[in-house]
């Protein structure tokens, strides 16, 4: 048994593209990746460049699991959407080349194209030395929509699916609910709510809030323990980038306040923003919502 029940950890917090600033960055240069795991389940949200480090960390555990059980190690990889910055780490994620792994890819179809096709189109010899068929792991694919929820039973390593209007989320399960957020070009993105033992973490990246807040997202995030929200821009920057599908820190604070969350993590940092700018964002955000923090690759929460 591990010394945690649920661990949530950020491996990538940067928006748009990865950066390696000359003077480094305390907060991290990798694009979106979040790990949520129990002793039995490994769930990853988004395959930005942050997933590469996570993949390397998982290798010893995968080998050990195979040795002890003789079974495949299941990994669920969920996508909020499939823009490059949420996808580019996938072909460098070491577990996909391990035959003792089974990957469950779950994410939205986009503009009518299934998730499986989107992923296969990306990992193909025109863009990368191997195609997805050469991944040695087992693979399952599922399109995601907002009528579904995903849950994980203690006894079953595979993700289970429920329908929001027909099924109850089983007690004691790790559950993940979603909604479609429309204001992100061109076919939206999917915030996720991870719930475990009555505690919840809402992950809402690549969302552009409306003036006064988006009520569907506010309801979705209501009373969450942690809200991780897109906060790509300063107020000045937002003036030039309204409509690009990202929020200013003030929009993130507005949603956090109205949703009455306990903590806000400002996420999807603009690659042009230095640590100095990010720290300015943090101090301004704290004036609007006291429990605001900058998301960083060091952030983790153990429940």
* Residues at the interface with Zn ion (CB under 5 A): 15, 83, 85, 206
Torsion sign across C-alpha atoms 24, 201, 191, 2:
positive
Shortest Å, Cβ 49 to Zn ion: 12
Q: Measuring CA to CA, which residue among 215, 210, 214, 226 is closest to residue 262?
A: 226
Which residue's CB is nearer to Zn ion, number 25 or number 110?
110
| Distance in Å, CB of 98 to Zn ion, minimum | 28
Contact 261, 217 (CB under 8 A): no
Name the phi and psi angles at 103, rounded to 5: -95, 130
* Residue number with CB closer to Zn ion (83 or 102): 83
Task: Please report, for the chain, how many H helices and E strands are present, in that order.
Answer: 6, 15
Residue nearer to Zn ion on the CB measure, 173 or 231: 231
Distances (CA, A) of 211 to 74, 206, 215, 236, 247: 41, 16, 11, 16, 10
Whether residue 186 has a cis bond before it, omega within 30° of 0: yes
Q: Which is nearer to Zn ion, 206 or 254 (CB)?
A: 206
The residue number whose beta carbon is nearest to Zn ion equals 83
Residue closer to Zn ion, measured from CB, 41 or 269: 269
Q: Rounded to the nearest whole angstrom, what is the least distance from the CB of residue 51 to Zn ion in the complex?
A: 14
- Taking the C-alpha atoms of residue 143 and residue 243, their distance in angstroms, rounded to an integer, is 26
Cα–Cα distance, 169 to 51 (Å, whole number): 28
Q: Least separation, in Å, of the C-beta of 2 and Zn ion?
A: 31
Q: Which whole-number Å values give the CA distances from 221 to 44, 73, 147, 234, in the listed order? A: 20, 31, 17, 23
- To Zn ion, the closest distance from the beta carbon of 81 in angstroms equals 6
Q: Dig out the tokens for 103 from the structure.
A: 């990957």
According to DSSP, the β-strands at 73-78 and 42-45 are parallel
CB distance 254 to 291 below 8 Å: no
Q: How far is the CB of 179 from Zn ion (least distance, A)?
A: 16
Residue 30, SS3 per DSSP:
coil
Q: Minimal distance in Å, beta carbon 283 to Zn ion?
A: 24
Q: How far is the CB of 9 from Zn ion (least distance, A)?
A: 19
Closest CB to Zn ion among residues 109, 303: 109
Distance from C-alpha of 32 to C-alpha of 297, rounded to nearest angstrom: 10
Task: Give the total residue count for the chain.
Answer: 303
Q: Would you say 85 or 100 has its CB closer to Zn ion?
A: 85
Smallest separation (angstroms) from Zn ion to the CB of 188: 9
Give phi and psi for 89, each to the nearest 5: -85, -10
């Amino acid at each position: 048994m591990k010394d945690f029940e649920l661990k949530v950890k950020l491996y990538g917090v940067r928006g748009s593209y990865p950066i390696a600033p000359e003077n480094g960055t305390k907060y991290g240069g990798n694009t979106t990746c979040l790990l949520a795991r129990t002793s039995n389940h490994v769930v990853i949200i988004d395959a930005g460049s942050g997933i590469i480090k996570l993949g390397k960390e998982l290798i010893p555990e995968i080998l050990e699991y195979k040795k002890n059980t003789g079974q495949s190690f299941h990994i669920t990889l969920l996508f909020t959407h499939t823009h490059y910055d949420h996808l580019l780490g996938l072909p460098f994620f070491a577990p996909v080349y391990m035959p003792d792994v089974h990957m469950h890819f779950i994410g939205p179809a986009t503009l009518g194209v299934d998730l499986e096709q989107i992923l296969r189109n990306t990992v193909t010899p025109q863009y990368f030395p191997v195609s997805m068929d050469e991944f040695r792991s087992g693979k399952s694919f599922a399109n995601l929509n907002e009528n579904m929820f995903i849950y994980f039973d203690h006894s079953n390593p595979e993700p289970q699916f429920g329908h929001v209007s027909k099924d109850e989320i089983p007690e004691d399960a790790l559950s993940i609910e979603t909604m479609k957020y429309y204001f992100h070009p061109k076919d939206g993105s999917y915030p996720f709510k991870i719930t475990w033992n009555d505690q919840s973490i809402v992950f809402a990246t690549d969302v552009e809030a409306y003036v006064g807040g988006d009520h569907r997202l506010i309801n979705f995030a209501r009373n969450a323990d942690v809200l991780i929200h897109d906060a790509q821009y300063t107020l000045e920057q937002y003036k030039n980038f309204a409509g690009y599908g990202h929020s200013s820190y003030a929009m993130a604070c507005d949603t956090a306040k109205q949703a009455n969350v306990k903590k806000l993590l400002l996420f999807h940092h603009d690659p042009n923003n230095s640590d100095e700018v990010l720290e300015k964002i943090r101090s301004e955000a704290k004036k609007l919502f006291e429990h605001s923090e900058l998301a960083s690759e060091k952030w983790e929460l153990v429940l």
